[in-house]
């Protein structure tokens, strides 16, 4: 049964590329990445509530008042991650920021597995696990260097933003573990996913409100409704893709470990991103994929294989 989480995690990671493309279209239509993310999370919440209702597990939410409060707030990590991407992409560049997110994810996952933090079953530190994690980090560095040019120049004088990027990546596996604890409490994965997305939606709605209160500039144009109607249908898929990713991660971590689950999703994301960049899918800019980036993806995949299979 646990082996099913290997392809599922890879596919879930690939769906993050779909989510990015869909969210880009939604951001253009709404004129705000905060509004787009709030809408996307709302769609994910409704989708997970519908699945929980269809599977007869929605009643599990009645147990929420009896669980530790922090088991229910994993969704705040999604809001923190999204806000971080909005702040970091213009300052570090998307490729460099994503590379740092990967580093943060893998380092946090390694710590969760090795030290058994937050209830994760501790795993003995083996040469395969250590070497695989190092290979994933080296692969991420190669991906960044292959697309961003000089890594040193890209990161020079930006220590604070680098720390933020590492933290933004690190909160994702922590979110998966916290959601896993809530699943132990409620025993219903889709209901847990709905709680996580609902909390994330509330957090992003607060960010959106604050952004509009402190925004300087003209008010949002009245044509936004028309822009949303003219958006391609797949612009709404981000919420569904995010729901699949979050649910897969917190169910996979107890089964195969944090490092393996996160490494597999990272690998799936990077493989899908190569195709998105190469062919310009989802109306995103078409970019040449360098040989160094391809080598980085290959090393990353080998690292994931070492973590899980050796």
In terms of phi and psi (left: phi > 0; alpha: psi -120 to 50; beta: otherwise), the region of 216 is beta
Question: Collapsing DSSP states into helix, strand and coil, what is residue 200?
Answer: helix
In this prediction, residue 94 carries a pLDDT of: 67
pLDDT tens profile 72-83: 999 999 888 888
For the entire predicted model, the pTM comes to 0.84
Average the pLDDT over 247-262 and give the result: 87
Highest mean pLDDT among 45-54, 109-118, 269-278: 45-54
In this prediction, residue 217 carries a pLDDT of: 44
- Rounded CA-CA distance 200/160 in Å is 25
Which of the four pLDDT bands, split at 50, 70 and 90, describes residue 154?
A: low
- Rounded CA-CA distance 245/103 in Å is 19
pLDDT at residue 14 above 70? yes
In this prediction, residue 92 carries a pLDDT of: 73
Average the pLDDT over 117-124 and give the result: 81
Average the pLDDT over 98-121 and give the result: 85
Question: What are the Cα distances from residue 143, in Å, to 14, 167, 259?
Answer: 16, 20, 19
**DSSP labels, 216-251:** -SPPPPTTHHHHHHTS-GGGGHHHHHHHHHHHHHHH
Q: Hey, what are 309's tokens? A: 């299979």
**Three-class DSSP labels, 123-166:** CCCCHHHHHHHHHHHHHHHHHHHHHHCCHHHHHCCCHHHHHHHH
In this prediction, residue 185 carries a pLDDT of: 93
Average the pLDDT over 227-250 and give the result: 84
How many other C-beta atoms can be found within 10 angstroms of the C-beta atom of residue 64? 16
Contact 126, 306 (CB under 8 A): no
Which of the four pLDDT bands, split at 50, 70 and 90, describes residue 177?
A: very high
Half-sphere exposure of 198 (CA within 13 A, CB side): 12
pLDDT tens profile 191-218: 999 999 999 999 999 988 888 887 754 4
User: Poorest-confidence range of 185-194, 224-233, 253-262, 266-275?
Assistant: 224-233
Sorted by sequence, the CB contacts under 8 Å of residue 261 that are 6+ apart come out as: 5, 9, 109, 173, 176, 249, 252, 253, 255
User: Poorest-confidence range of 146-150, 161-165, 171-175?
Assistant: 146-150
pLDDT at residue 223 above 80? no
Average the pLDDT over 112-138 and give the result: 83
């Amino acid at each position: 049964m646990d082996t099913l989480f290997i392809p599922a995690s890879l596919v879930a990671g690939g769906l993050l590329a779909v989510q990015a493309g869909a969210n880009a279209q939604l951001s253009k239509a709404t004129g705000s990445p905060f509004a787009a993310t709030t809408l996307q999370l709302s769609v994910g919440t409704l989708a997970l509530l519908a699945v929980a209702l269809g599977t007869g597990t929605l009643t599990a939410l009645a147990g929420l008042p009896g669980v530790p409060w922090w088991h229910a707030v994993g969704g705040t990590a999604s809001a923190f991650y999204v806000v971080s991407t909005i702040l970091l992409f213009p300052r570090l560049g998307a490729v460099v920021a994503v590379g740092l997110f990967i580093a943060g994810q893998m380092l946090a996952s390694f710590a969760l597995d090795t030290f058994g933090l937050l209830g994760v079953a501790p795993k003995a530190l083996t040469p395969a696990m250590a070497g695989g994690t190092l290979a994933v980090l080296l692969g991420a560095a190669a991906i960044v260097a292959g697309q961003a040019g000089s890594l040193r120049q890209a990161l020079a004088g930006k220590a604070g933003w680098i720390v933020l990027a590492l933290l933004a990546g690190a909160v994702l596996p922590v979110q998966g573990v916290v959601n896993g604890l809530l699943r132990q409490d409620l025993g219903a994965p889709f209901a847990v996913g709905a709680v996580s997305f609902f909390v994330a939606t509330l957090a992003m709605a607060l960010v959106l409100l604050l952004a509009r209160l402190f925004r300087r500039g003209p008010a949002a144009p009245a044509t936004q409704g028309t822009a949303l109607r003219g958006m391609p249908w797949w612009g709404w898929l981000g919420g569904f893709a995010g729901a699949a990713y979050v649910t897969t991660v917190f169910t996979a971590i107890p089964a195969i470990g944090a490092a393996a689950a996160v490494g597999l999703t990272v690998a799936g994301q990077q493989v899908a991103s190569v195709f998105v960049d190469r062919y310009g899918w989802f109306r995103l800019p078409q970019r040449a994929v360098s040989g160094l980036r391809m080598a980085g993806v290959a090393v990353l995949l080998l690292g994931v294989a070492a973590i899980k299979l050796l």
